[in-house]
Each structure stands twice: as structure tokens, then as C-alpha cells.
Structure 1
Amino acid sequence: MSYDLNDAAPQMAPMGELIPDGTFAKVTMKIRPGGTNGATAMDTGLLKSSANSDAKMLDCEFTVVDGPFSRRKFWQNFTVAGGKLDEKGQSKGWNISKSTFRAMVDSALGLKPDDLSEAARIKRVIGGLKQLDGITFAARIMVEVSDNPNYRDSNKIANVVLPNEPSYDAIMRGEAVAPEPVNAPPRKVNAQVPAAWNAQAPAQGGWSSTPHSPAAQAQPGTAAPASIPGGAPAWLNS
């Protein structure tokens, strides 16, 4: 009896060691259900309630897919309801999260942010937040410095990298890209990001196309294929 250790994966980094500030990487997001219901049937028990306000959040775990930090994980909450309100009475946290979720979809599907074609808009309509579970996209990772001495600094998503950015293709191929720390000068992009996302999510259903196939004409109210585990879009499981 013997054990061949030659094909073992590299050892994990020491517990608590952070991914360097400004690192670019392809990441996969998993949602950790918190027991609080969301706005759609598929989001039953999906959200986490804040202990300090009426805010409801998505508790998300990110895993780096490729590169020197492959398999490293970090966690982040996204407010999807409640919390502080803007002058229109809308949740400030949800507006921020909605923009981030749209960017995740654009990055995952290779959609340029200024693509407002009907096919692109259909792909940006989701039937519930549950359908974001398992999405893989390009990201820049930051180190968030804790202002509480009882808590450690942590990694967070600084921004989602979009297909109109020079580093996007290399990141999605798993290639090394020089980091851009958050304190660096503002990053330049090739296209203007639309100011608003007007597509509204239907009660059920979701994306019906994969990143490599033409968009199907999904209709609001159409249920996701039964063969997809958990009702997730097919492209998330390809």
C-alpha cells in the first residue's frame, strides 16, 4: 500500500490570510440561505435579516476559480430590501446591490454594459435572486479595513469587471493580471455604463439562453426548465 502525493493540489494559504488588495480573479458566487423569505416564491428562506434594522440581505460566498488564489474564499452581504431610504423612499442598499447584480450578469454572459438590445435586456431579467446562485464572473477584489478592533480586515468585491474593460478576457481565461489596488487612480473603461437598469424581474422564470447561444425570447411568467436543479438558469450550470 502506498500513497502517490505527486498529483496533490498546492496547500491552502494560512487561515485568515487575505487576498491582496486589487487582485483580479474569476470568481463563483454561492448564496447561503438565511431563513428569511424574499419577494418571489423561489426566494423562500433565501435572505438573511439584519440584527440591527429592517434590512434583508443576500449572504454570499465567493470562491476564486483560477490563478494563484484558486479555491480561496471570502464572504459579503448585499442588501436587497429595507435599510436606509433615498429621497424617493427606495432602499439605498438595494439600488447599489441591483447595479452590482446587473454587472455580474453582464460579466458572466459577456454582455457589454451599453448593449441595450432586446436580446441583451431579456438576459438581464431574472425570476428571483436565487437564480444568481452559482454565477461566475470577473472581479477585482479589495481588502476592506475593519473600523472595529474586534474584527479582522476582510476581502470584498471592489467591482465587477465588465466585457468592455481591457483585462476582462484575460481574467475569464484564468490568466494573471497585474493588480490595481483600490487606492490606485480611477480605472478607465471603453464604454459609458447606462445610468439605469429598467428591466423588471418577473414573478417566476429567468434566463433561457447560455453565454454561447442566441437568446431565446423568454416571456415573463415562464417557469425555468424542470431539468435545471433549483430552477437555476442553464448557463449557470454549463
Structure 2
Amino acid sequence: MSEMTWKEYDQRVERVPVFIPVGSTEQHGPGLPMNVDFVIPTEFSERTAERVDGIVAPTIHYGAKSQPGSGGGSEFVGTTSVHGGTLRRQIQDVIGDLERDGAMKIVFFNGHYENEYPIREAIDRHIEDGTRATFIIASWWDLLSPSLRDEIFEEIPGGFPGWEKEHAGVIETALMRHFRPELVREDEIVDDEADRTPSHIVKPAPRETVSDSGVFYRATYGTADVGRRVVDDVTDTLVSAIEKEFA
């Protein structure tokens, strides 16, 4: 979208899906850059848009506040977040302008765990105000088929730990090795986890519930080949959803 002229955009916006990648600027351990959460949804959006003749809007780079149990939180230097209400208002404003210009098929592709509810609330409020558009909300981890997920994790010690504990772990490392290998600090990739993982939430988070490195699981197992398989699987799933919901 940002590389189109307004006339080129005007000729297509009413007919095709418009993708809005939503990410964050957040630590991902010593081996991955802080742009992981917006690189991944942007790359997925671009690949999917190519298959459905869509338009990719500029990515939202700042996400809802990183939480200690799923991203390390603000204890890590560089993690730069906004309050959920701030993100919700930004998304509402963006939706308003997109729909004003004729967008009828809008896909929010999310790459940051904590963004899910601000995105939903923004759309809910927009619907309450009246809308003609149809929305799809997708987080890449929800689109990964259980069969492929189980296949990837079956040979990893500890198995699948749950998505909130996969931060900077197997799949994110694999996706970055596939999408942007030049940004991966290969000599710094480590396996790590917190000393204690309570089933409840404590704030402020006790130090032993956050890993020292910012890696929550077994990043060394995230190969580029795993990334390629995840990309193929998730993209196919999203294309099918778009073809069904926007038929």
C-alpha cells in the first residue's frame, strides 16, 4: 500500500483483501532481533496477499505491553510497548480510514501474543458504530496445523510447552532463519527457560519466573527447514480462510 499511488490504491481497495500486520518491538533473546514480531506477520501477509491479489498496509510496529510470562516484559532493555488502549484506538482509527476509502475485506495478521484482545476490541467497537466491512483476525500460531506442530515438537526434549512459553523459541527462531537469516546472530542462539513457571500470575514478576536470556524455550531446534514448513502450512490455512470468509 505505501508504495502505491493513491490512484492505484483507489482502483483496487474496494475489490481485494487489505492486510494489516500488527507486531511489536520486543526482546527475543541474544540471537534474534527486536523486530521479530513485526517481521513475521509482515512476511506472512505479503506471501498471502500475493496469492489472493491483496494489498498489505503498513505494519504496526509497537504492540501491547509485553508481559513477563510471554515475552519477558519491560525488564529487558529495548522492549518498547504501548498500553492496550492506545493500540486499540490506533487500530480503530486505521479501520475508519480504510473503510472510508472503500475497504470491505480487512485481515489483521498478528505476530505478538499480547495484541490479540486490543485488536478484537477495536473491531468490536467499530462494529458497534456500524460497518459494512468483514474482518478476519489471525495470529500465526493459531493457524499452524496441530499435526505439523506435533511433528515438529515430537523429537524436542520437553515437547510442546504452549505458545506463551515458545517466545524466542523453536518456531520464531525457525521463521526468522527462513524469512530473514541475515538478522539471526547464529553464535548467540541459546536454549533457556525460567527457573520457575507458576500457573498463576504475580506482579511484579519474581525474577526466577523470567529467563536471564529472554529465551523461553529451545531456540536451537528452530531450523530454517522447520520455518519453511511452517510458512507453507500457515499460508495455505490463511488463504483457505480468506477464500471462504470473503467469498
| TM-score between both structures, scaled by the size of structure 1 | 0.31
Q: Which has the higher strand share?
A: 1
| TM-score between both structures, scaled by the size of structure 2 | 0.30
